[in-house]
Chain A
Amino acid sequence: MKKKLLATLAVGILLATAGCSASSPAPALSVAPTKDSLSGSVTVFAAASLTKTFGALAAKFEAAHPGVTVTTSFAGSADLVAQITAGAPADVFASADAKNMAKVSTLVGSPVNFATNMLEIAVPPGNPAKIATFADLARPGVKTVVCAPAVPCGAATVAIEAATGVKLTPVSEENAVTDVLGKVSSAEADAGLVYVTDVKGAGSRVTGIPFPQSSTAVNTYPIATIAASKNSKVATAFVEYVTGTVGRAVLAAAGFGAP
């Protein structure tokens, strides 16, 4: 019995510790000789909401500079800040808000704002609760899901509540904007507050309802090179690429506003 129990415990502990980690493996390095002065590899840490755009930008940057490899790592800005503070080998950091960038101000070069994002109401297809305005979210019986005030999208939500005077009573305050989106796209919730880019990225799974008051809480995304970067030349070039015309076009196509 004791053995059996210990085995059970061991299994349980193994299961309980099964974790997850996400990282993009570096693509095969092209060794073709090139006149391009840039070479080597850089690691870009970017906020989760930039997953699609920065994935595309990294590929385009690599295509433009055959000697360069860009490895990307996407997570919540706060997670990335914790990793950078702990000495993770990043060369570039793109944050979803100025607050998180400020937390690593001593470890980065001067940040440049490269995009903005605003909240939008997301509803399941068909809009079962007939949401039309921000005030509708506070209607009794409407299941509204928002981000917790501690995370950037939740802070923006609080700002809009203050600006509109509409007090929401959400059924859930999620940790990440993707969790809000998930609750809406599965039709668990009648409505959620997510970023314009999330609605765009979700395609037909949710319907977006813009509201004028969203302009009272605009999130600005800063990008900076990491001071300890071993390849600051390429890191700087990538930052310039993101803030340049190509970066602007890719970001605008995904719904990001100009800074």
Chain B
Amino acid sequence: MDVAGTRRASFSGVPRWVIVIALIGAAFVLVPLVAMASRVNWGGFVALVSSESSVAALLLSLRTSVAATILCVAFGVPMALVLGRTSFPGQRLVRTIVLLPLVLPPVIGGIALLAAFGRQGLLGRPLEVLGISVAFSTVAVVIAQTFVALPFLVLSLEGALRLAGTRYEAVAATLGARPTTVLRRITLPLVLPALLSGAVLSFARALGEFGATLTFAGSLQGVTRTLPLEIYLQREIDPDAAVALSLVLVIVSLVVVGLTLRTAPGSRPGRVAQ
């Protein structure tokens, strides 16, 4: 991997003007983040990010994002398998709908979730009768996060499945392995790196979820007020705290994206678990 990477880099077929534009693009992303970091009140940083409400928001965010990621894996893996390994009429339409939360403004996601799980909603009303209330609960936060994060897992896993091809699976099947055995011993190990990176991306998306949560779950410390909501609220009273918390979220996101890029290139179809 590294050898191939180096070789590719040393072949400099990229015109210089492309590099210049790329650098401007990179600066466009970097400058606002650096500018924000320069606003951090370092003297009070620890106090700002360790206040009771900040810690509650961070812990809630981590808890709900982990739960959402687990749900994304539980539902996203079968969805990616069905989309990537079978063909059925209307598959294209189904894929488009599944990926819709990627392009929907989160507020719309929140309104749609309200229509489904709200107290007056399609599913919410029967649930209410059963004594289960999703409204204003941590469960609502997890639902909102899963809704927006699921496409990330499906997208990256389905791509990897298509790229990996079905050769090994076909061989295993001819040797008498049952479908579940093939899935467990061949398919999943083959796309494990993509699964991991997809899960990490889903986690990152869940961590950043704001609009759908605000619309659908509400905002209460320790229950539904995740870190992005806390930052939004702190901006009203203490901009210093908002900037400090933003930096925390940026660092967490950086670590998460960094992890993804490290795990990504390993998914070569040639390497199969024994």
Contact = CB atoms under 8 A, between A and B. Distances in A.
A188 B260 contact: no
Contact of A5 (B120, B136, B156, B234): B156
Given A1-B159, A76-B236, A143-B135, A8 B201 contact: yes
B84 interface: no
Interface string B191-212: 0011001000100010010000
Given A145-B218, A175-B219, A175-B233, A2 B135 contact: no
Contacts of B20: none
Interface in B96-151: 102-103, 105, 114, 118-120, 135-136
Given A5-B197, A12-B201, A172 B220 contact: yes
A171 B118 contact: no
Interface residues of B, number: 46
Interface in B194-247: 194, 197, 201, 205, 208, 214-215, 217-221, 224-225, 229, 232-237, 239
A253 to B, nearest CB: 30
A4 B159 contact: yes
Contacts of A2: 264-265
A220 B159 CA distance: 58
A15 B160 contact: no
Contacts of B233: 148, 150, 175
A190 to B, nearest CB: 9
Interface string A168-186: 0011111100010011001
Contacts of B236: 76, 78, 148, 150-151, 175
A170 B102 CA distance: 32
Contacts of B265: 1-2
A230 to B, nearest CB: 28
A186 B220 contact: no
A228 interface: no
> Which of A1, A148, A174, A179 is most buried by chain B, counting CB atoms within 10 A of its CB?
A1
A64 interface: no
A173 B219 contact: yes
A11 B205 CA distance: 12
Nearest to A183: B218
A175 B152 CA distance: 29
Nearest to A11: B102
Interface in A203-243: none
A8 B218 contact: no
Contact of A188 (B118, B224, B235): B118
Nearest to B261: A5
B266 to A, nearest CB: 9
Interface string A102-126: 0000000000000000000000000
A172 B160 CA distance: 41
Contacts of A78: 235-236
Given A173-B220, A174-B218, A174-B219, A4 B163 contact: yes
A92 B14 CA distance: 52
Contacts of A173: 219-221, 225
A9 interface: yes
Closest 4 pairs between A and B when the two form their complex, measured CB to CB? A172-B218, A171-B136, A150-B237, A4-B159
Interface of A: 1-2, 4-5, 8-9, 11-13, 15-16, 18, 76, 78, 82, 143, 145, 148, 150-151, 170-175, 179, 182-183, 186-189
27 contacts: A1-B193, A5-B260, A5-B264, A8-B155, A8-B159, A9-B257, A9-B260, A11-B102, A12-B102, A15-B102, A15-B103, A82-B239, A143-B136, A170-B220, A171-B220, A173-B220, A174-B219, A175-B229, A175-B232, A183-B218, A186-B114, A186-B118, A186-B120, A188-B120, A188-B135, A188-B136, A188-B218
Given A2-B264, A4-B159, A15-B102, 4 more contacts: A1-B163, A8-B155, A15-B103, A179-B214
